């Protein structure tokens, strides 16, 4: 069975994007194996610390290498993706072995989703798509899928996904399964 590894861009407990990830996981069903990357111990990148590879970085690279595909679910911060997501992918973009060119992410299949305000995270997804292309990832769809939260979610922290949003999540999940298995 193929393995999808989620990269969650929000660190907050009541995150809208974590709720979106739950919907995506439900839409994927048992067609694929699912895991989530733990990366909160990855320090800001510093080339002085690249070799020997820090243990946290070696672990996230191994987790990414063991997955068939990555699904990034991220909030939009100031028209882009959060800095810790950039830091993670900066580390992942560097060679796995000193003096070699192979990275953990080159050629890896990926898709992106995000939920936030009125623009449905469009700027985040555009910026992330540029980064993913730059580091040689195999993006299913240039700018993934984005959603705006229902108005009451800003106060309640509970996202109510509309039928239309659920149908879109299902479509992306089905397309991604086909993309991974192709
Ligand atoms: C630093 C920062 C910048 C933000 N910039 C944007 C933005 O550009 N567009 C937007 O719609 N929301 C923006 N927001 C609001 C987030 O979309 C909102 O807080 C959302 O709940 C974050 O996702 P989460 O619930 O998954 O953590 C920003 C929030 C933060 C903390």
The pLDDT assigned to 121 comes to 98
Distance 78 CA to ligand 1 centre (A): 7
The pLDDT assigned to 39 comes to 98
Structural domain total, the chain:
1
Can you tell me the distance from the alpha carbon of 77 to that of 128, in angstroms, rounded to the nearest whole number?
Answer: 12
Instruction: State which ligand 1 atom lies nearest to the alpha carbon of 80.
Output: 8
> Which alpha helices (H) appear in the chain, and where do they start and end?
16-28, 55-66, 83-92, 122-134, 153-156, 163-181
Preceding omega of 52 cis (within 30 degrees of 0): yes
Give the contacts of 138 (CB within 8 A, at least 6 positions apart). Answer: 107, 108, 109, 110
Can you tell me the distance from the alpha carbon of 27 to that of 31, in angstroms, rounded to the nearest whole number?
Answer: 9
Distance 26 CA to ligand 1 centre (A): 24
The pLDDT assigned to 142 comes to 83
Domain residues for the domain of 17 are 3-181
User: Which residues, judged by CB distance below 6 Å to any ligand atom, belong to the binding site of ligand 1?
Assistant: 10, 12, 15-17, 75-79, 116-117, 119
Distance 62 CA to ligand 1 centre (A): 30
Calculate the dihedral angle through the C-alpha atoms of 30, 32, 36, 42, rounding to the nearest 10 degrees: 170
The number of angstroms, rounded, from the C-alpha of 79 to the middle of its chain's C-alpha atoms is: 17
From first to last of the 182 residues of the chain, give the pLDDT tens digit. 999 999 999 999 999 999 999 999 999 999 999 999 999 999 999 999 999 999 999 999 999 999 999 999 999 999 999 999 999 999 999 999 999 999 999 999 999 999 999 999 999 999 999 999 999 999 999 889 999 999 999 999 999 999 999 999 999 999 999 999 98
Angle at 159 between CA 153 and CA 161, to 5 degrees: 130
CATH of the domain at 7: 3.40.50.360
Which residue, among 7, 29, 28, 21, has the nearest Cα to 159 in the 3D structure? 21
- Residues comprising the chain, all counted: 182
The number of angstroms, rounded, from the C-alpha of 5 to the middle of its chain's C-alpha atoms is: 8
Closest residue by Cα to atom 1, ligand 1, is 77
């Amino acid at each position: 069975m193929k393995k999808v590894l989620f990269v969650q861009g929000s660190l907050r407990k009541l995150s809208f994007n974590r709720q979106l990830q739950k919907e995506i996981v439900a839409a994927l069903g048992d067609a694929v194996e699912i895991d989530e990357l733990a990366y909160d111990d990855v320090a800001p990148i510093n080339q002085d610390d690249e070799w020997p590879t820090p243990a946290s970085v070696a672990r996230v690279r191994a987790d990414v290498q063991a997955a068939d595909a990555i699904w990034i679910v991220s909030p939009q911060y100031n028209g882009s993706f959060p800095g810790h997501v950039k830091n993670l992918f900066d580390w992942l973009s560097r060679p796995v072995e000193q003096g070699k060119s192979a990275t953990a992410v080159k050629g890896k299949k990926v898709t992106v989703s995000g939920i936030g305000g009125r623009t449905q995270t469009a700027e985040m997804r555009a910026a992330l798509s540029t980064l993913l292309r730059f580091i040689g990832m195999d993006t299913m769809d240039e700018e993934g899928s984005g959603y705006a939260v229902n108005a009451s979610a800003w106060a309640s922290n509970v996202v109510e996904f509309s039928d239309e949003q659920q149908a879109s999540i299902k479509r992306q999940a089905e397309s991604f399964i086909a993309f991974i298995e192709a």
